Amino acid sequence: MTAFDPEKRRCLRHPLHIPIRLELGPGGVPAERRCEEISQGGLSFWWDRRLGRGQFLIITIPVKEKSFRIRARVAYSLKDARTGHFRTGVEFKDPESAFRARLAEETIEIIEYRKKVSSEKGFEVSEEQAAEEWIRRYAQGFPGQSRQ
């Protein structure tokens, strides 16, 4: 067993397949990847080489016209024998980054909810209507939300 076991998480993770942009360290050349999973504490993606534990990253999650910049550090990088790529997990470096990641995720969920509801109703639901309804229905169960 290693010092960090990716199967023993502090936070519940769930799939979120969205494009992300990674910069290895300040001023690094951006690379496009896809997020695989996200939790309150971090996220994971595939990389073509092993990244060192503790390595600093800037992750950008683009959502519509907005981009959420997140500071993170590598928690693990595990080689997949079948593909040769590395499943890489990062932890958010500070509470502000964790908040930005959660905000990006909620925004994406609301966008998807709007598409679904518009399709079901047969007409375009406004962003505001979709957001209000999503918050009313799902925000309490969303990771990191208080249960008042």
Q: Residue 109 is encoded by which pair of tokens? A: 């969920």
Q: What is the pTM of this model?
A: 0.78
The pLDDT-based confidence of 3 (bands split at 50, 70, 90) is: very low
Asked if 11 and 40 touch (Cβ cutoff 8 Å), the reply is yes
74 and 42 Cβ atoms separated by less than 8 Å:
no
Write the pLDDT tens digit of every residue in 12-26: 555 678 899 999 877
What is the average pLDDT score of the chain? 85
Alpha carbons 30 and 21: distance in angstroms, whole number:
6
Extract the tokens encoding 98.
Answer: 């964790």
Domain ranges of the chain: 14-141
pLDDT reported for residue 39: 87
The string over 111-127, giving b where at least 16 C-beta atoms fall within 10 Å of a residue's C-beta and e elsewhere, is bebbeebeeeeeeebee
Choose which CATH entry (2.40.10.220, 3.20.20.70, 3.40.640.10, 3.40.50.720) describes domain 14-141.
2.40.10.220
Q: What's the mean pLDDT in 112-137?
A: 91
Of the pLDDT bands very low, low, confident and very high (cuts 50, 70, 90), residue 142 is: low
Query: What pLDDT, on the 0 to 100 scale, is given for residue 2?
Result: 40
Report residue 51's pLDDT band, with 50, 70 and 90 as the boundaries: very high
